[in-house]
Chains A and B, each alone.
Chain A
Amino acid sequence: MMLQVESVSKSLNEQLILDQVSFQVKKGSCFGIIGPNGSGKSTLLKNISGYYRPSSGTVRIQGEEIHKIPRKKLAQKVAVLSQEALSPYPVSVFDTVLMGRYPHLKWYQREGKKDFDKVEEILELTELSHLQNHTLDTLSGGERQRVAIAKAMAQEPELLLLDEPTTYLDIGHQISILRLVQTWQNETDLTVIMVLHDLNLASQFCDQLLLLHRGKVVKIGTSKEVIKKDMLEKVYETIPEIIPHPKTDVPQILLGV
């Protein structure tokens, strides 16, 4: 088991944000966390990444409790992509991706040929080679997000956490980012956990979905089990139409006004 979350609760400013959340994620799978605004999705992800410490309950990565793993060692296993992952700072794409090698370097060590080769390979894969000497402040939001993914790839993690990686992106860039994650996953047996706002994308890209509402787990299951009319009506307080995708048969949502 890659990740085990056991009855995690989290309070922020004396307000209960997460209430006894438990679930497990198998190695190599893609796990989606969905739910309305304020349901606690991002807080849940921050508890999994080790950024927050749960008020109660435990998070284990490959059986090891996350807060007992030193930062650097954790970064060898887990990479995180937040909503706005990189500031538009005038640092070159190459140097940014190279920072992903940090967890693999000792404090006295400089980046060597092995690291440069790795970064080049990743830049190739993410189609960023032609931009490698450009600086982040000159890139578009979609390109910056790709750089963030490339940097996460350079960490060579086993678990990738994504917090709404497609927010602010147009549909073309949304798909290209998720495809990139998918390709990577297929090649390396990577486990992916992502918070997604867009239920249609979540339904298509994830093996398993967790529906969160007011900090509590409503349902965990495949998209066919979770993306259901009654379930969504209760949580989102709107009445969606659900139809199967004409090509893949996964449930998709149509919104009526």
Chain B
Amino acid sequence: MTSSQHNRWLKKLIIWIPFLIAVLILAIMFSVSVGSADLDLKTIWFILLSKLPIIGDAIEPNWTVNDETIVWNIRMPRIILAVLVGAALAASGVVYQGVLRNPLADPYILGVSSGSALGASLVLLFGIELVILGQWTLPVVAFLMGLITLVIVYFLAKVNGRLQIETLILSGVVVQAFVGATISLILALSEQKMQTIMYWIMGSLVLTDWSYNRVVFPFVIIGILIILFMIRELNMLVLGEEAAQHTGVNVQRVRLILLVVASFVTGAAVSVSGTIGFVGLIVPHIVRLMVGSDHRLIFPISILGGAIFLVGADTIARTILSPRELPIGIITAFLGAPFFGYLLRKRKTGYF
């Protein structure tokens, strides 16, 4: 047996990754081409090409400033944010499911999202705008509240200096219930602001400009890189905590790093897009059903899968009832649930 046969996961990855990148590019190209403004495809492509280095300089602009604004400053930032948020949610979903060894885990299970939602609701209810933060008040407050919630959940779960997975999930549920009640209270008191708050909670990519992307990008990239370096440990954790520890994994530390990094990534995504459901839960499961249980495959494939999924869902959300917009969470659930059900039925053995 040659050593190349021992890298079968790598071979699979070499097939999957370029394929998914191609699909993602196609999805982006399709998404940028549709919308309520009537633009012809050629113009759209030339506008995009003109933004590329070197090639771009050779293109003579023969379109209006208005066209360029629609393509480059309205559609593209939103699509790229869908890529980043989809990748972020799917990536942290993989980590949460693996570390917590729970198929029901999603990026919101430890309360990061409800904390963010509470922060956002408060900002929206009182119309707060902090001078130093300006338009960034909402995302920054949402992000910080998300992390504070995580810290509370974490300390509730810590018993005798050890972190027990079951306790962690339970304290996440408890804190979520409490924070959820607070949000409901705010909703009940808000009346006029109710719809705005509801829309934020359901998740949306409306009103995105490039600055959102610039802020979220480093969180997502750095988070993904850190997790990539711990993929081997994640694979070992899945086989059992005790076994991993006896094979030399510092279980407590690895778990803490992975959960905190995944929460930062989730927090960054939630702060700019609200709590878009289903992506972080379903995408890792779909990938697992397709490629097996090796996180060296699940993780990178889920990242691309999440990006593709959310670009698709957002395209539908903004076009299907055009000019009205549907909350993207509705689309992700409508698309994800049946597909997941189908894969689950097709599969005969357990997989988690």
Contact = CB atoms under 8 A, between A and B. Distances in A.
B240 A151 contact: no
B62 interface: no
B247 A151 contact: yes
Nearest to B6: A116
B3 interface: yes
B236 A71 contact: no
B181 interface: no
Contact of B6 (A74, A78, A94): A94
A107 B249 CA distance: 11
A214 to B, nearest CB: 25
B292 interface: yes
Nearest to A78: B246
A91 interface: yes
Contact of A91 (B1, B245, B249, B293): B293
Given A89-B293, A91-B235, A91-B294, A82 B248 contact: no
Interface string A79-112: 1101001110111001110111011000110010
> Interface on chain A toward B: helix, strand, loop, or mixed SS?
helix
A67 B308 CA distance: 47
A95 B249 CA distance: 16
Nearest to B295: A91
Contact of A99 (B229, B239, B250, B293): B239
A77 to B, nearest CB: 10
B210 interface: no
Size class of A's contact patch?
35 or more
A111 B236 CA distance: 14
Contacts of A76: 248
B214 interface: no
B242 A102 contact: no
A68 interface: no
Interface in A24-44: none
Interface string A99-143: 110110001100101001001100000000000000101000000
A229 interface: no
A191 interface: no
A80 B241 CA distance: 13
A107 B246 CA distance: 17
A72 B248 contact: yes
Contacts of A73: 248
A66 interface: no
B334 to A, nearest CB: 29
Contacts of A102: 232, 236, 247-249
B190 to A, nearest CB: 47
Contact of B235 (A49, A80, A99, A108): A99
Contact of A89 (B229, B232, B239, B248): B239
Nearest to B349: A137
A92 to B, nearest CB: 8
B293 A87 contact: no
Nearest to A99: B236
Contacts of A95: 9, 235, 294
B247 A99 contact: yes
A34 to B, nearest CB: 22
Contacts of B238: 87, 89, 91
Contacts of A100: 247
B63 interface: no
A211 interface: no
A78 B246 CA distance: 8
Nearest to A74: B248
B222 interface: no
Interface string A211-224: 00000000000000
Interface of B: 1, 3, 6, 9, 229, 232, 235-236, 238-240, 242-243, 245-250, 292-294, 349-351
Given A99-B232, A120-B1, 16 more contacts: A51-B242, A72-B248, A74-B248, A80-B242, A86-B239, A90-B292, A90-B293, A95-B235, A96-B239, A98-B6, A103-B248, A135-B293, A137-B349, A137-B350, A151-B247, A155-B248
Which 4 A-B residue pairings sit nearest by Cβ, starting from the closest? A75-B248, A103-B248, A80-B246, A72-B248
21 contacts: A51-B246, A75-B248, A85-B240, A86-B239, A89-B238, A89-B239, A89-B293, A90-B293, A90-B349, A90-B351, A91-B293, A95-B235, A96-B239, A99-B232, A99-B239, A102-B236, A102-B247, A102-B248, A135-B293, A155-B247, A155-B248
